[in-house]
Amino acid sequence: MGQKRVALVAAGITKFGKRKATFRDLIAEAGKATFDSNKNISPKDVKAFIISTVYPERSAFQGHPAPLAAEWCGVRPTEFHERVENQCGSGTSAIRTAYAAIMSGLTDLVMVVGVEKVMVPSHKEIFLNAMAGSDREWESCFGVTPPPLFAMVAQAHMQKFGTTEEQLALVSVKNHNHSKTNPYAHHQKGATLEQVMTSRLIAAPLKLFDCSTNTDGAAGVIVALEERAKSLTDKPVYILGTAQINDGYPWVAYPKDWSTWPSLRFAAQKAYEMAGIGPKDVDVAEVHDCFTISEIIEYEELGFCKKGEGGRFVEDGQSDYGGEVVVNPSGGLIACGHPFGATGVRQAWEAYIQLRDEAGTRQVKGAEIFLGHNLSGLGEHHILIYGRS
Amino acid sequence: MGQKRVALVAAGITKFGKRKATFRDLIAEAGKATFDSNKNISPKDVKAFIISTVYPERSAFQGHPAPLAAEWCGVRPTEFHERVENQCGSGTSAIRTAYAAIMSGLTDLVMVVGVEKVMVPSHKEIFLNAMAGSDREWESCFGVTPPPLFAMVAQAHMQKFGTTEEQLALVSVKNHNHSKTNPYAHHQKGATLEQVMTSRLIAAPLKLFDCSTNTDGAAGVIVALEERAKSLTDKPVYILGTAQINDGYPWVAYPKDWSTWPSLRFAAQKAYEMAGIGPKDVDVAEVHDCFTISEIIEYEELGFCKKGEGGRFVEDGQSDYGGEVVVNPSGGLIACGHPFGATGVRQAWEAYIQLRDEAGTRQVKGAEIFLGHNLSGLGEHHILIYGRS
């Protein structure tokens, strides 16, 4: 039992952005890209399927997405299938569920597709969608949606640790520059410090470029039991550790000091322990930069730097190529965009290509360990750690 | 690994019906009922939580229900949590996921709550909800929603096997009479053959009493690894077998002969095999009687009777007390009502009380094996088999 292991054996992605494609088109496109990534697997071989999606009922006017998505990928599940949702952390949750389904013996191979169609004609729908993510009785009805929430987080961190607006902006500059090498990213033009600092104010101190982007997109991975994985590819990407926590809802109730996220620290510790590694062993990470401040706090709570030193960490280039750990080489949520249900799966796709040396010009050379982090609230975190062996 | 087992250790339910309670109220009520059912478990002991719910984004205007529901049950998950959705089969899917999470070693105890707030002021919302369950591009836009779909199923079965409208009606009579002893059911007045036969025509040959009811409600169970289960109760209710299939979407594409559901037969066989039993061993079953014709076809495909003889099976009283197998002692979807995300969990609650001799006047005496069946389409089935030991 302790010896059973699970690995990624395929991964594909769609172009992220303001797409003309429908919800269904995006699924089919990600499905094709996933199968194209490993010609040893055909849709007929897949008997378990999980879709990660947050808002199809509102944005695509379509419920019951699991069988629809399976069908559009050519898959007929006879072992396990469902839709998994955990708001912005849905993708990582779905891969964890695939891991559980395989480890439980119900199946030995699962396809996971994450998708979101966000750019719909009615902006009212988008606005309502954003509201539906927080507590409608205690938060969103008072206007407490993600941007003001994370603005308050930023203010707390600046006050307590002296983090500066420039340091926040440098996260955005880094991620926008990374995405220039990612043809699937929503934004590919890069960004300068001046551009970020002078962009429109959203919720002080967060400016437009401090925020992730509403984006359409989808991504897929196939996860398999080690024995089967080895028969399908020479370079499986192993899941070494995982953890998940939700410590407090609604967001506004937790925690008292928003500059510190003990629940993320707890989850990270647990995932490192399961993987048998420490934070210094992580070579490359995709973390949940829904806002620049999130990435800074994540450096700290994931143990990449000391508490309070996240601002300096990015300023010193420690989260960029040549630094301690390359964070968000894909461009992250800020530059790839954030199609809710797809983001965690997009992170797994990055793990797949980075740990197989297939990431082209943004390859982190010699990367052995990859950490993926998704959040769905200040106290709600989802972590997966991947390794080459 | 083969020796690990999982069991129900608690179960609770809310009154089903046209409730004034909100989505959130229903969750809290089911949570309390679940903890009340086993005083050895407190919310603090629960570190994994799954919510099964289909439409909160539309009917309760609330997304991201997993952490909200956990919070309202007093639970702070640190091991596993998510929302699972598979339309009408969400409840059984969620319990299967809990089983997988436990068997995988990620956790050893999971609380599962199923809930739906359906009776909202805007009937347009309810109508839109129903549409969102089928394929909006290929089905519901043409008016092909569940009632006409199952009407066509009934017509096919009547034509091929000579099933009569009276036989359909007898399913409803049985289930309505069963629910007289279930204080949590939506309908508790019973029904006569005449009442069913003269009720308003919905989609020929289905009449109002042939259909399950739009209902608000919630139910909860706690599932645990055998060792832990034994420390929490003297009478755990074991999960012996499970299967799931989705063979074809949209519904209208599958299968050619709607009177026969080979996918259900396949799933049943698989679940029986895993449980090491056959259909004749089942003492009591809660099956998905979304329409009377469904229950008749389920008798056949689950192996309770021969193909084509489902009509006679109910007419001969074989699915009632004193017959081969007691089907839907709770009243089923027809008389309990069908709050989508709650139904599969409500079936597990019935398993829990039946296999612990706690079902009062509707107790199936000496019941050893219980089968729960949920569907979310003609080709989409979810099965759990429970046993006393």
Other Cβ atoms less than 10 A from the Cβ of B190: the count is 15
Residues of B in contact with A267 (CB under 8 A): 78
Task: Tell me whether residues A63 and B93 touch, CB distance under 8 A.
Answer: no
Among A55, A58, A82, beta carbon nearest to B84: A82
Confidence of residue B59 (pLDDT cuts 50, 70, 90): confident
**B104 contacts A244? CB cut-off 8 A:** no
Identify whether the C-beta of residue B266 lies closer than 8 Å to the C-beta of residue B382: no
* Residues linked to residue B88 through DSSP beta bridges, in sequence order: B86
Round to whole Å and give the CA distance between B349 and B343: 10
The SS3 of residue B242 is strand
The one catalytic residue in B81, B187, B338, B382 is B338
* Chain B residues close to A105, C-beta within 8 Å: 1, 103
Which residues in chain A have Cβ-Cβ distances shorter than 8 Å to B86? 64, 66, 81-83
Closest CA to B267 of B371, B350, B339, B157: B371
Using alpha carbons, list the distances in angstroms from residue A98 to A51, A156, B101, B138.
Answer: 10, 37, 10, 29
Q: How far is B214 from chain A (nearest CA, A)?
A: 17
> Are A64 and B57 a contacting pair at CB < 8 A?
no
- What interface predicted TM-score (ipTM) does this complex get? 0.97
**Cβ <8 Å between A377 and B246:** no
Residue A141 token pair: 């009805």
Q: What percent of chain A has pLDDT over 70?
A: 97
Distance from CA of B138 to the nearest CA of A (A): 11
What digits encode the pLDDT tens for the residues A183-207? 999 999 999 999 999 999 999 999 9
**Do B103 and A99 lie within an 8 Å CB cutoff?**
no
* Measured distance CA(A204)–CA(A210) in Å, rounded: 10
Decide if B245 and A93 are in contact by the 8 Å CB cutoff.
no
Q: Residue written as tokens 């030991």?
A: B389
Q: What is the pTM of this model?
A: 0.97
* Comparison of pLDDT for B120 and B109, the residue scoring more: B109
Measure the N-to-C terminal CA separation of chain A; round to a whole number of Å.
18
What's the pLDDT tens digit per position in B185-202?
Answer: 999 999 999 999 999 999
Closest residue on chain A to B380 (Cα): A67
Q: Give me the residue from A57, A247, A250 closest to B57, CB to CB.
A: A57
Chain A, nearest residue to B377 by Cα: A67
Q: What's the pLDDT score for residue A277?
A: 98
Which chain B residue shows the shortest CA-CA distance from A245? B78
DSSP code per residue over A242-306: EEEEE--SSGGGS-SSTT--HHHHHHHHHHHHHHT--GGG--EEE---SBHHHHHHHHHHTTSS-
Tens digit of each residue's pLDDT, chain A (389 residues): 458 999 999 999 999 999 999 999 999 999 999 999 999 999 999 999 999 999 898 888 889 999 999 999 999 999 999 999 999 999 999 999 999 999 999 999 999 999 999 888 776 666 666 667 788 888 888 888 889 999 999 999 999 999 999 999 999 999 999 999 999 999 999 999 999 999 999 999 999 999 999 999 999 999 999 999 999 999 999 999 999 999 877 777 766 789 999 999 999 999 999 999 999 999 999 999 999 999 999 999 999 999 999 999 999 999 999 999 999 999 999 999 999 999 999 999 999 999 999 999 999 999 999 999 999 999 999 999 999 99
Strand A237-246, strand B326-327: pairing: unpaired
Measured distance CA(A287)–CA(A309) in Å, rounded: 17
Tokens coding A303:
């143990």
> For residue range B210-252, what is the model confidence (pLDDT) as tens digits?
999 999 999 999 999 999 999 999 999 999 999 999 987 777 7
The secondary structure element, H or E, covering residue A95 is: helix A90-103
d(C-alpha B379, C-alpha A67), whole Å: 10
Among the partner residues B24, B64, B77, nearest to A133 by beta-carbon distance: B64
What share of chain B has pLDDT > 90, as a percent?
86
How much is the pLDDT for B1? 44
User: Across the interface, do B68 and A104 touch by the CB < 8 Å criterion?
Assistant: no
Domains and CATH numbers, chain A: 6-121+215-238 (3.40.47.10), 143-213+240-387 (3.40.47.10)
Chain A hits for B76, Cβ within 8 Å? 246-248
Distance from CA of B59 to the nearest CA of A (A): 11
Interface contacts A/B by beta carbons within 8 Å? 181
* Per-residue pLDDT band at B367 (split at 50, 70, 90): very high
The single residue of B73, B88, B211, B336 carrying the catalytic annotation is: B88
Backbone angles phi, psi at B21, to 5 degrees: -55, 145
State the smallest CA–CA distance between residue A153 and chain B in angstroms: 20
CA distance to partner chain A, nearest, from residue B112 (Å)? 14
CB A250 within 8 A of CB B65: no
CB atoms within 10 A of CB A251: 25
Residues of A taking part in catalysis? 88, 338
Nearest CB to A100 within list B62, B106, B242: B106
Instruction: Using an 8 Å CB-CB cutoff, list chain A residues near B105.
Output: 1, 103
- Count other Cβ atoms within 10 Å, centred on residue A20: 8
- Three-state DSSP class for residue A320: coil
Are A237 and A7 within 8 A, CB to CB?
yes
- Facing B87 at nearest CB: one of A63, A79, A248: A63
pLDDT of residue B255: 64
Neighbour-count burial for A125-154, b at 16+ CB within 10 Å, e otherwise: ebebbbbbbbbbbebbeeebbbbbbbbbbb
Local structure of B45: helix, strand or coil: helix
Contacts of B52 in chain A (CB under 8 A): none
Rounded distance, CA B145 to CA A34, Å? 32
List, as one string, the DSSP characters of A194-253.
Answer: HHHHTSPEEETTEEGGGB----BEEEEEEEEEHHHHHHH-SS-EEEEEEEEEE--SSGGG
CB-based contact B243:B267 (threshold 8 Å): yes
Chain B CA closest to residue A82:
B86
Chain A residue with minimum CA distance to B93: A82
Query: A248 to chain B nearest CA, in Å?
Result: 7
Of A70, A71, A135, the CB nearest to B68: A135
Say yes or no for a CB contact (<8 Å) between A67 and B249: yes
Whether B88 sits among the annotated catalytic residues: the reply is yes
Phi, psi (deg, nearest 5) at residue A310 = -60, -40
CB contact under 8 A, B246 and A66: yes
Pair of tokens at residue B187: 């309908």
Distance CA B190, CA B178 (A): 8
Q: Which of A222, A129, A195 is nearest to A334 (CA)?
A: A195
Q: What is the DSSP letter of B16?
A: P
CA B143 to chain centre: 25
The strand pairing partners of A115, in sequence order, are A218
Chain A residues touching B251 at Cβ < 8 A:
none
Nearest CA in chain A to B137: A62
